[in-house]
Amino acid sequence: MGRLEGKVAIITGGARGMGASHAEVFVKEGAKVVITDILDGQETAEKLGPNCTFMKHDVTLREDWERVVKETDKLYGPVTVLVNNAGIAKLKPWDQTTDEDYDIHYRINQLGVYLGMQITAPFMIKAGIGSIVNISSIAGMAGGANALPYVATKFAVRGMTKAAAIDWGPMNIRVNSVHPGVIRTPMTMENPDVDKSLVEQMGELSPLKRIADAIEITNLVLYLASDESSFSTGSEFIADGGQIAGF
């Protein structure tokens, strides 16, 4: 029996990178999975078989969230796991950051998480159980240069996680945040707004002297989605190779 047998999961930003890694393992562990993305994730879903479905989804839109959650409920049953994985990172010096840069970070990284939690919670209450895993960052634990909007939104995710955990704990819904360090994904390695040499350098500066592969975060997300973490809520789970251990 899989560790997620009987679970119904929505994973945002699931077309590639960490989201696709989470979806692959979730399906293997017995979950019914809906991956959502503004990118095309149909090929990813087809590779994972009949227990995975792709839905086009802009996480910044309430109507998109309502459609995805209702369609998931009709297809597989009420959502019992939500992984708010979709995110954006545009790193710029503070004096080159525009209002538009700040707004897009807010809408995707922060508003998207808020909408996802608020709209899925009633379905989890109906199911009598739920686990929400919000993907923040070590930038939600400590500041960083050239990342003012990113840091702001990732700190917000950390705070919203704690507030939601308090609100929904009595309904048997757990809410936790995951704080990755530098991960080898398309967002870091194929992003024109991210310096690849700096990414590798950041890995070398950590105690483990490397950056992580997506599966190393997936294993943590799997734990939090499963009933194995049944007494964990409102907490931060850091996976950064020790990068902020000395902060």
193-209 confidence digits (pLDDT tens): 566 666 677 778 889 99
Greatest Cα pair distance, the chain, in angstroms, is 54
Domains and CATH numbers, the chain: 8-239 (3.40.50.720)
CB-based contact 116:166 (threshold 8 Å): no
* pLDDT tens figures, 89-144: 998 999 999 999 999 999 999 999 999 999 999 999 999 999 999 999 999 999 98
Q: Residue 39 and residue 58: Cα distance in Å, rounded? A: 9
Task: Name the catalytic one among 76, 106, 150, 223.
Answer: 150
pLDDT digits (tens, 9 = 90+) for 10-61: 999 999 999 999 999 999 999 999 999 999 999 999 999 999 999 999 999 9
User: Is 76 tagged catalytic?
Assistant: no
**pTM (predicted TM-score):** 0.94
Q: What is the pLDDT of residue 188?
A: 58
The one-letter code for the residue type at 66 is E
Q: How far apart are CA 133 and CA 178, in angstroms?
A: 7
List, in sequence order, every residue forming a beta bridge with 239; answer none if it has no partner: 180
Cβ 57 vs Cβ 84: under 8 Å: no
